[in-house]
Structure 1
Amino acid sequence: MQIRAFEDEWLVGEDQSEPRASVVLADADPISRRVLGTVLRDAAQLQYICCVDSHRPLEEWPLSQADVVVLSVGPQDDPVPIVRQLASRRIRVLLIGTGWSRYRVDAAFSAGATGCLVKDTEIGRLATATRAVASGHVVMSPQLFGLFTASPRVHGPRAVLAAHRSEARSPERLLRALTEREREVLDLLADGLSTAEVAGALTLSPATVKSHVSHSLSKLGARNRLEAVLMMQQARSMR
């Protein structure tokens, strides 16, 4: 699977030869189910199975062929039990919701979720994020980067950061490995800017920004842009 940069906030491995991922949408709101279901149904490289009321018992969900469950959550919902059960079945879970907090983001990834999106702003990117999750990537809305913490006690996305620390990749050494321009690019990405916005802020072309990101990934040993951005955020927080 080849990794390439998209104009949005994730690096997504998208190989048209790969089989389509099968997706189930779970949402308690019938209007939201209709809107999100249309996005997933019309998306290329996705096999949309159906939608289900997320308040129904998990035993009633059509999961036998599901690769990914897109689970919509409200501010008062606790998705952890469902995420744990789905993860135990080796089904990837992409959460899309509102009312995110540091605790909720940490709890979601600790339970086994592979993505967290802000529902109000990410509907248009839902299909891209779902394909990314199905391909084994971790996705997160830029607005949530500041809520994401690294802990060696937790498996999953944060284990990447813990591994770099165990290899004596201190924040200071991480920053020294990058050129000044590469640090500027990652700093802006860590602030939530898109590729196009970074290009505008630094008076560069989007292709040049992508080139700087690619070089940074090699130097940091990161698998994708999300990991590099999280590493940069951790380094900044420890200055």
Structure 2
Amino acid sequence: MTATPTRILLVDDHEMVRAGFRIILGSQPDLEIVAEAATGAEALLRARETHPDVICMDVQMPDMDGLEATALITADPALRAAVLILTTFDRDDYLFRALRAGAAGFLLKNSTPEQLIEAVRVVSRGDALLAPELTRRVISRFAETPSSPAAPATPPACLTELTDREREVLGLVARGLSNLEIATRLFVGEATVKSHVSKVLQKLGVRDRIQAVVYSYEHGIIVPGGLET
């Protein structure tokens, strides 16, 4: 039986950009473009009409930007789409707003066609994706402000629910390591790491590993360079 293709909504205010993405993604038998939108408001409308699996979302658009649209889409229980942000991200505030808006993945527009295809497949599987360049920027940003006023004086109670191994895995996730890289570092199987990550997400009450990184830094569970003691 042939697997159902991943349904994709393309969102960008430039027709030529959408055309390029359409050609790249539409060339894959397991991917299908079901709709396009030129603004955040239109993206929300098309998402509710077509119920895509993945939304490739630009940031700077007229009417409603991609960050506001992402927040509305991820907050809607009727929508199950994973939002993949595609941008140059030349402003850090865009990156952090998108993180908090619930985007499942981030890819720079100068990435290769192969990286775009793989990114769509990754987020469609329910995994989170953060380009290495952006992971470094996340960590650098928190390193610059280790004493954020939003961070509590003591770590949240959920930290006590994590095992030592789960805390170790969380620390490696926060450094931007993939499951395979963590498995190699800890001398365990990749499936074991995936299980640890799943338990960490559940105990922290977050949706994916990107949200776990943000939550951990903001609540003092992780400090740049390692776990908070």
TM-score range, shorter chain: 0.5 to 0.7
Q: Does the 8 Å CA contact 1:72/1:97 hold for their aligned counterparts? A: yes
Aligned to 2:106: 117
Runs of 4+ residues over 6 Å off in structure 1? 56-59, 85-92
1:106 aligns with 2:99: no
The AA in structure 2 aligned to 1:38 is: I
Q: CA deviation at 1:197?
A: 0.8
The counterpart of 2:170, out of the listed 186, 189, 200, is: 186
Q: Does the 8 Å CA contact 2:128/2:208 hold for their aligned counterparts? A: no
What is the rounded CA distance, in whole Å, between the counterparts of 1:209 and 1:109 in structure 2?
23
Provide TM-score, normalisation by structure 1. Answer: 0.57
Structure 1's 171 and 80: CA in aligned 2 closer, same or farther, altered over 3 A?
A: farther
The counterpart of 1:211, out of the listed 171, 195, 216, is: 195
Q: Does the 8 Å CA contact 2:172/2:182 hold for their aligned counterparts? A: yes
What is the rounded CA distance, in whole Å, between the counterparts of 2:64 and 2:58 in structure 1?
14
1:48 aligns with 2:33: yes
Q: CA deviation at 1:174?
A: 3.8
Q: Does the 8 Å CA contact 2:183/2:189 hold for their aligned counterparts? A: yes
Q: Which has the higher contact order (CA 8 A, sep 6+)?
A: 1
1:24 aligns with 2:10: yes
The counterpart of 2:161, out of the listed 143, 155, 177, is: 177
Over the residues paired in the alignment, what is the CA RMSD in angstroms? 4.6
1:38 aligns with 2:23: yes
Q: CA deviation at 1:201?
A: 1.5
User: 229-238 or 81-90, which moves further after superposition?
Assistant: 81-90
Q: Over residues 198-223 of structure 1, what are the superposed CA-to-partner deviations in whole Å (9 max), with x where a residue is unaligned? A: 11122222122122223323433334
Q: Does the 8 Å CA contact 2:105/2:123 hold for their aligned counterparts? A: no
Provide TM-score, normalisation by structure 2. Answer: 0.59
Q: CA deviation at 1:192?
A: 0.8
Q: How many positions carry a matched residue from both structures?
A: 197
1:81 aligns with 2:67: no
1:96 aligns with 2:89: no
Q: Over residues 155-185 of structure 1, what are the superposed CA-to-partner deviations in whole Å (9 max), with x where a residue is unaligned? A: xxxxxxx9xx9xx9x5264433322222121
What is the rounded CA distance, in whole Å, between the counterparts of 1:80 and 1:180 in structure 2?
47
Q: Does the 8 Å CA contact 2:166/2:200 hold for their aligned counterparts? A: yes
Extract unaligned runs of 5+ from structure 1. 1-15, 151-161
Aligned to 2:147: none
What is the rounded CA distance, in whole Å, between the counterparts of 1:86 and 1:209 in structure 2?
29
What is the rounded CA distance, in whole Å, between the counterparts of 1:48 and 1:72 in structure 2?
16
Extract unaligned runs of 5+ from structure 2. 143-149
What is the rounded CA distance, in whole Å, between the counterparts of 1:37 and 1:71 in structure 2?
13
Q: Does the 8 Å CA contact 2:12/2:61 hold for their aligned counterparts? A: no
Q: Does the 8 Å CA contact 2:8/2:35 hold for their aligned counterparts? A: no
The AA in structure 1 aligned to 2:138 is: L
Q: CA deviation at 1:143?
A: 4.3
What is the rounded CA distance, in whole Å, between the counterparts of 2:29 and 2:189 in structure 1?
29
Q: Does the 8 Å CA contact 1:22/1:67 hold for their aligned counterparts? A: no
What is the rounded CA distance, in whole Å, between the counterparts of 2:99 and 2:36 in structure 1?
23
Q: Does the 8 Å CA contact 1:39/1:126 hold for their aligned counterparts? A: no
